[in-house]
Structure 1
Amino acid sequence: MRIRIITDDFTSALDGTACFAERGWNTAALLRPEDTENVTATAVVSLDTDTRERVAAGDPVADAARAWCHADVLVLQFDSTLRGHVAKDCVSARAASGRRKLLIAPAFPSAGRTTEAGRVLVDGVPVHKTAFGRDPTLPVLESSVPALFLAQGLPVVIARDAAQAKVLLEEHDAVVMDTRAEDDLDALVGLFAGSRDLLLAGSTGLLRALARALSQPEPIPQLAALSCDAPWLVVGSLNPSSRRQLNVARESRRINVLATGSDRLPGAALAEAALRDLVTQVTNLIASGACDGLVVTGGETARRIVDSLPAVSLRVHREILPGVPLVEVRSSKGSFPMITKAGGFGGDDALLICLDALTGARV
């Protein structure tokens, strides 16, 4: 079985494959669109088009959907809080893949993200009314999935569950499914996984349901445990959750930290300069040997760090927390473990758990 995942962000590309990797699937996470044809023997492949915060030349989402149009399962993965160009990417991927139907399931219930009456909620609050609506770089201004897609010219109808979604897809081209619990996603996967005329679109919650439900392949050799002695915590996200998590980690442990300040404002040259300086500091630490592992929160920050290293390949190992993957980063200068976390994910102790997972301080 070939499962292909198109996403717009580095952390998504990693957490979308981690749930498969830890169940014995052979996985790959790609950073360059031109590599999509070099992984035909790999069961689960994710591509980061790097378009959530950047304007790319051409349409890498459409290019990937076209290249992977014959996949057994094709998924357009997007942020569970609707950050980015969700509707545009879904419409583009559907058209390029040649698949007639689109089933949208944004929910990630174990992370507090649900879908009710077609609206995305975070801990029960419409996402545009949460901190994501005030995001300094990509504010979410709309919680209604049908409204987002109508603005792109595609009507979307709402299904209350998987059974109704199946009925509605017989008459409509695009359906969004209400989801309040993991069981709802499991039911969706049970009905639709492997439907070759269907583009699935959703967050990491949908991919975790796919990994739970699909038949496991022959087990691959168990990966060696990853650990390190001197990890650095790199905080590039300005999400309030990340800042609380940083404070908890600082109060609980003596840790090495690099973090952008609150002066990283959207559209300002200072923002780019601050991020570039942060990435330079991290790469210098790695090159000097002062850092043998990373915990990074902020997808753009993590991607910039990896892009700055020579000849990188990635091996996804497992999830530390739901949607928080552990990865081995391999470059021409050596390898090191890295944990990536989207800015708004996790409880207040999430970064502390990640650091302890690398050092073995706490299981």
Structure 2
Amino acid sequence: MVKLVVVADDFTGALDTGIKFAEAGAQTQVILKPDFGMEEIRPDSEVLIVDAETRHLDGEAAYHIVYDLVRRCKNYGIKYFYKKTDSALRGNVGSELSAVSDAAGCSVSFVPALPKLNRITKDGIQYIDGVPVADSLFGRDPFEPVTKSAVAEVIHEGTGIEVVVVKNCKQIKRAERRAIYVYDAKSNLEMENIARELKDTLGLEATAGCAGFADCLTKVIDFSHKREVEIRRVKNLLIVCGSVNEITKRQIKYAEKAGFRRISLNVVQKLQPGYFETEEARSFLNDFYRKCSQGMPVIMDVFSHDDAVEEAAAYGRLVGVAEENIRECIVNRLGEFIDLWLGFGVDGALSLSGGDTVYAFLQRKGCKDIRPVCEIMPGAVLFETKVGERTMQVVSKSGGFGNESIFVEIADKMMVGGVV
């Protein structure tokens, strides 16, 4: 029987939250569409993780998808809901929190901090590495810059619902009116205290936050199962980075210095229609195969140079790709390269960076059975899925997560003999 439904706006968010419950022993099921049929829920599932794919939708569309999902699940008899949000406050935060509140008919307790990655909430302001989020790298994101650091202001971009900032969890008491309650938190211990206080006061019917607070909920919700974790080491690792986040760029450069083979796609390789029929493509694919056969991890990324985003927009106009479709075209092209890699028949695993990249891969290959295995590194989740008759190990990482050495550390844990 499902105890809790987690609603995420992209796949990496779904997975890095779902793994917290899986590691706590909950029977965890991941579903890739918000309009799933209730018959698709496994009888033994305790936590249902739903990727609603609303990150890049407008606020109104996101509201209706989340509202309909929560309402259907509530009518089905499910009592508890967790709205997974981005720790940098990207996406339709206000619209989706409002949708959960309206559909569940109660206040939402929102704990957006992730102290494990130095992302905290103080006086209602979200900080990344000690800097207000709007002044951090996320404020300069080329696709979805975060322009406000006050959590209440971010919420009010998408809804008019009342927002109450709670600076001390001892202030928590039963809500007299429906609202979004935003909790300050600077440490995991503070978040654990918030979870315990909520259980005894407001209740856990509707909570929200990133993977950090989800981890705290596992300590106040009882799951009784035990599980074994096994990482199967492989001879080949392909790291595909569809994210253009500055953090990802630093991670790629670090791995390249460590000896990883790097392939940076130029604008033609990313966007030219019919690219694989060209003479250049044949030469490029031979080089791709050669790099994958050298026993070192291979990185494929979209950073051909610092002006790659602007160059893609200009080239898109030249070949008839609208600017709003460029991201989708690049993700699809990365999927084509992954198909080619799978065709090499290597004993390998994938590491995919960027929620769009991961989701597109799973949709492209028709993956339905997704089993979270473990959080292999903070911010990076290993899962297994069937690709045809083959069981693949895939690491999913949000573009904005992880230290500079994360790709090296993932490869060291995944590859035969390690790399360090």
1:359 corresponds in structure 2 to 415
RMSD: 2.3
Shift of 1:57: 8.5
Q: How does 1:131-150 map to 2 (within 5 A)?
A: 131-150=137-156
Secondary structure of the structure 1 residue equivalent to 2:35: helix
Q: How does 1:265-304 map to 2 (within 5 A)?
A: 265=310, 267=323, 269-290=325-346, 292-304=348-360
Instruction: Report which stretch shifted further, 319-328 or 10-19.
Output: 319-328
Instruction: Report which stretch shifted further, 280-289 or 341-350.
Output: 280-289
Task: Say if 1:270 and 1:103 are closer, same or farther in 2 by CA, change over 3 A.
Answer: closer
Mapped pair 1:65 → 2:70: yes
Distance 1:83 1:119 in 2: 14
One-letter code aligned to 1:18: I
One-letter code aligned to 1:147: E
Mapped pair 1:46 → 2:53: no
Q: For the Cα contact (< 8 Å) 1:94–1:102, is it kept in 2? A: yes
Secondary structure of the structure 2 residue equivalent to 1:68: helix
Distance 1:57 1:106 in 2: 19
One-letter code aligned to 1:260: V
1:180 to 180, 186, 196: 186
Q: For the Cα contact (< 8 Å) 1:232–1:291, is it kept in 2? A: no
TM-score by length of 2: 0.80
1:128 corresponds in structure 2 to 134
Give CA-to-partner distance per residue, 1:238-264, whole Å, 9 cap, x none: 111111111111111332111113523
Q: For the Cα contact (< 8 Å) 1:87–1:149, is it kept in 2? A: yes
Task: Say if 1:293 and 1:44 are closer, same or farther in 2 by CA, change over 3 A.
Answer: same
Task: Say if 1:310 and 1:197 are closer, same or farther in 2 by CA, change over 3 A.
Answer: closer
2:29 corresponds in structure 1 to 28
Q: For the Cα contact (< 8 Å) 2:11–2:51, is it kept in 1? A: yes
Secondary structure of the structure 2 residue equivalent to 1:215: coil
Give CA-to-partner distance per residue, 1:76-132, whole Å, 9 cap, x none: 00100001000111101211222x111111000001110011111101111011110
One-letter code aligned to 2:209: G
Task: Say if 1:116 and 1:264 are closer, same or farther in 2 by CA, change over 3 A.
Answer: same
Question: What is the aligned length?
Answer: 360
1:324 to 373, 380, 403: 380
Shift of 1:197: 7.0
Q: For the Cα contact (< 8 Å) 2:63–2:99, is it kept in 1? A: no
Q: For the Cα contact (< 8 Å) 1:113–1:121, is it kept in 2? A: yes
Shift of 1:46: 0.7
Task: Say if 1:136 and 1:279 are closer, same or farther in 2 by CA, change over 3 A.
Answer: same
Shift of 1:276: 2.0
Shift of 1:59: 2.6
Distance 1:292 1:44 in 2: 30
Q: How does 1:1-363 map to 2 (within 5 A)?
A: 2-35=3-36, 37=38, 38-39=40-41, 41-54=44-57, 59-69=64-74, 70-98=77-105, 100-151=106-157, 152-164=159-171, 166-167=172-173, 169-170=175-176, 173-193=179-199, 198-220=205-227, 222-254=228-260, 255-261=297-303, 263-265=308-310, 267=323, 269-290=325-346, 292-360=348-416, 361=418
Q: For the Cα contact (< 8 Å) 1:77–1:204, is it kept in 2? A: yes
Distance 1:270 1:147 in 2: 30
One-letter code aligned to 2:65: P
Task: Say if 1:167 and 1:236 are closer, same or farther in 2 by CA, change over 3 A.
Answer: same
TM-score by length of 1: 0.92
Distance 2:212 2:63 in 1: 29
Task: Say if 1:224 and 1:134 are closer, same or farther in 2 by CA, change over 3 A.
Answer: same
Secondary structure of the structure 1 residue equivalent to 2:173: helix
One-letter code aligned to 1:343: G
Q: For the Cα contact (< 8 Å) 1:8–1:50, is it kept in 2? A: yes
Task: Say if 1:316 and 1:36 are closer, same or farther in 2 by CA, change over 3 A.
Answer: farther
One-letter code aligned to 1:66: R
Secondary structure of the structure 2 residue equivalent to 1:296: strand
Distance 2:368 2:128 in 1: 35
Q: For the Cα contact (< 8 Å) 1:107–1:206, is it kept in 2? A: yes
